């Protein structure tokens, strides 16, 4: 089921969010360009980051082990399951600001 995280931050018309620098660096490491994104793009690049840095468990691919990574510092946890995105939403609430656009 497609996660609809649109309730994380009150999004304006442009639906654009501005990640704070620590999150922005993670998105840039995953190939993102610029400083404002849609929520969908933020989720896409975070997924790419996890794959690129091999943070997911090869046996249980829904488990993400980020304890030794920037992502873990952002989330404040060692591991999480993609089936329980609540720690992710908490992090996004703290690290995304909405743009006026
Ligand atoms: C539904 C979606 C999701 C999206 C948001 C949330 Cl809060 C939970 C879950 N999802 C389902 N599994 C993943 C996933 C699992 C392991 C490694 C990478 C991604 C994702 C995540 C995506 C994504 O954009 N997903 C596209 C399709 N995924 C299918 C799984 N694919 C697997 C391919 C084999 C290797 C493991 C990943 C990658 C592309 N973005 C994310 C960002 C984070 Cl912080 C955490 C997880 C994801």
pLDDT digits (tens, 9 = 90+) for 40-81: 999 999 999 999 999 999 999 999 999 999 999 999 999 999
Report whether 15 contacts 99 (CB < 8 A). no
Output the CA 50–ligand 1 centroid distance in Å.
8
For ligand 1, whether the C-beta of 66 sits within 6 Å is: no
Compute, in degrees rounded to 10, the torsion defined by CA atoms 87, 90, 96, 99: 130
For ligand 1, whether the C-beta of 3 sits within 6 Å is: yes
For ligand 1, whether the C-beta of 23 sits within 6 Å is: no
Question: Could you tell me where the DSSP H helices lie in the chain?
Answer: 21-29, 39-52, 70-75, 86-95
Please count the other Cβ atoms lying within 10 Å of the Cβ belonging to residue 85.
Answer: 16
Output the CA 46–ligand 1 centroid distance in Å.
8
Q: How large a percentage of the chain has pLDDT more than 70?
A: 84
99: confidence class by pLDDT, cuts 50, 70, 90: confident
Whether this model's pTM surpasses 0.95:
no
- What ligand 1 atom has the least distance to the C-alpha of 64? 16
- What ligand 1 atom has the least distance to the C-alpha of 89? 7
Farthest-apart Cα atoms in the chain, separation: 43
Higher pLDDT, 68 or 6: 68
Output the CA 82–ligand 1 centroid distance in Å.
7
């Amino acid at each position: 089921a497609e996660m609809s995280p649109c309730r994380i931050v009150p999004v304006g018309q442009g639906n654009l969010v501005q990640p704070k620098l620590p999150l922005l660096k993670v998105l840039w490491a995953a190939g993102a360009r610029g400083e404002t994104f849609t929520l969908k793009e933020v989720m896409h690049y975070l997924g790419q980051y996890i794959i690129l840095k091999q943070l997911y468990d090869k046996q249980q691919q829904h488990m993400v082990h980020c304890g030794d990574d920037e992502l873990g510092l952002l989330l404040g946890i060692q591991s999480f399951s993609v089936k329980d995105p609540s720690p992710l939403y908490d992090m996004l609430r703290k690290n995304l600001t909405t743009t006026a656009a």
